[in-house]
Structure 1
Amino acid sequence: MLSLFQTKITNAQDWANLKAFEQANKSLGTPETGENRVVFMGNSITIGWSAKVPEFFNDKPYINRGISGQTTPQMLLRFRQDVIDLHPKVVLILAGTNDIAGNTGPMSLEQIMDNISSMAELARANGIEPILCSVLPAERYHWKPGKKPDEKIPLLNTMIRQYAHKKGLIYLDYFGAMANDKMGLDKNLAEDGVHPTRKGYQIMGPLAEAAILQALERRP
């Protein structure tokens, strides 16, 4: 059993958790001719989608690359391995809520936006159409009280939307379809107020697929 000190060293050596999908990426191979491969980049909200609504991903060229708890600097660090090197046509970037929670330390909204922008720029530079997703609503974080996500998430989403419009990118507005009057998620959409239920993902699914279709139509 690892000591606390050894665990901290191990985590520091793979801070972005590059090992998580290393073997899966190797076994995936390059897309087949005509395959409209799509990568979902994100955190626990993204990876939880495969667990709660697996049929959304079944028999589709959708690849889930969410890692629980991750922040935008961690995603940016693994973006080449877990997105670019998989040669998708489209990537959905859903990130920022864990940054606001401070999972890897203090982050300003501007710093979060910088990392999201960098992922979008990397995608476009490699012929991948990025879809920038709004951060999902959250009235509070049960694991990090006092972070005021009900105030900060709408501000970050405004920044993401403005950047997307400025750069001619697709903005996928989950927030507008799911937020209640307290800028959070109702219990039927997220029992803990953060992670979607099956019903929550069923709202997100058609929105994501419409955005993917739009992104594919933009490509040559």
Structure 2
Amino acid sequence: MTIPANRRRFLGLIATAPLGVAGASTAARAAQAVAPVSPTPVPPPAAVALTDDERRRLTDFPWLARYAEDNARITAAATPVKLVFMGDSITQGWPDKHPAFFAAEGRVCRGISGQTTPQMVLRMMADVIALKPRAVHIMAGTNDIAGNTGPMTLQQTQDNLAAMAMLAKASGIAVLLASVPPAARYYWRPGLDTVTPIAAINQWLASYAATHGHTFVDYHGAMQDGAGGMRPGLAYDGVHPTEAGYAVMEQVLSPILAAKGFS
């Protein structure tokens, strides 16, 4: 069969055309070398520097180890305990500023600086119930407001305070619920409104104590300056009491302890 001239020219062009990208055969494309990809190594995350307190929260959130040795000593010796003081730095600093008040027989301090009510709830069994006291003095809420272990609502603080009171009452331990002392500001949380939430917690504490047969101890009323802050001379930083501040607290508490038979 004779191939027309125009088709012969077309076939000739195909036969003599150079192989480009579009015209390369499948085999030729497969034969092309692929440059190896060198993955960029991902550097490990930088080590996070933790404070001692942050590290402790990761391993012992409520800090049960803080008083474990002393608790074991008390229980082993069957030492009679009249009153355990559960709280934060305001409670912890009390025997340091006024050791004579805690020299009274049967008074035990279980305050830990910076603690919030979620931490205290977890300490109740070891630091209070196991010691079999006649009464417990609970003063907490300052660090909840400050958000020391994270943001908290008023309801969450109330629930934790109620839980501690319930644990004590179920164990036959009388409950003294102390007001949150006044503070116009928290130096470690600048700009935070402290007056409003302190007032709300204290109002709830007074109501809860009256409803459930507990004793409300109102330090706030005796220490506040009329605007929600501490009276001059009663706190060295606006929050933590001076010796004079603790003296005022003792003037409020001592008659209550005497009336209840816990002095």
**Is TM > 0.5 for Structure 1 vs Structure 2?**
yes
CA offset digits 1:99-157 (Å, max 9, x no partner): 00010111111110110000000000001001000000000000011221111101110
4+ residue runs over 6 A deviation: none
Deviates more, 1:88-97 or 1:145-154: 145-154
- The number of aligned residues is 214
Identical positions, percent: 43
Gaps of 5+ in 1: none
Gaps of 5+ in 2: 1-46
Q: Is 2:84 the counterpart of 1:39?
A: yes
- Once residues 63 and 207 of structure 2 are traced to their aligned partners in structure 1, the CA distance between those partners, rounded to angstroms, is 30
Partner of 1:23: 69
Report the secondary structure of 2:253's partner residue. Answer: helix
Tell me if the contact between 2:56 and 2:63 (Cα under 8 Å) persists in the aligned partners: no
Q: Is 2:191 the counterpart of 1:163?
A: no
Deviates more, 1:145-154 or 1:131-140: 145-154
- Once residues 22 and 205 of structure 1 are traced to their aligned partners in structure 2, the CA distance between those partners, rounded to angstroms, is 27
State the Cα RMSD in Å: 1.9
CA offset digits 1:156-205 (Å, max 9, x no partner): 10011111111111000000111112201023000200000000000111
Which structure: larger Rg?
2
Q: Is 2:132 the counterpart of 1:120?
A: no
Tell me if the contact between 1:31 and 1:88 (Cα under 8 Å) persists in the aligned partners: no
Per the normalisation by structure 1, the TM-score is 0.91
Match of 2:95 among 44, 50, 68: 50
Report the secondary structure of 2:66's partner residue. Answer: coil
Where does 1:22-171 land on structure 2 (aligned, <5 Å)?
22-29=68-75, 31-32=78-79, 35=80, 37-171=82-216
Tell me if the contact between 1:25 and 1:86 (Cα under 8 Å) persists in the aligned partners: yes
Tell me if the contact between 1:164 and 1:171 (Cα under 8 Å) persists in the aligned partners: yes
Match of 1:186 among 231, 237, 242: 231
Per the normalisation by structure 2, the TM-score is 0.77
- Once residues 48 and 65 of structure 2 are traced to their aligned partners in structure 1, the CA distance between those partners, rounded to angstroms, is 21
Partner of 1:195: 240
CA apart distance, 1:31: 4.6
Larger RCO (CA under 8 A, 6+ residues apart): 1
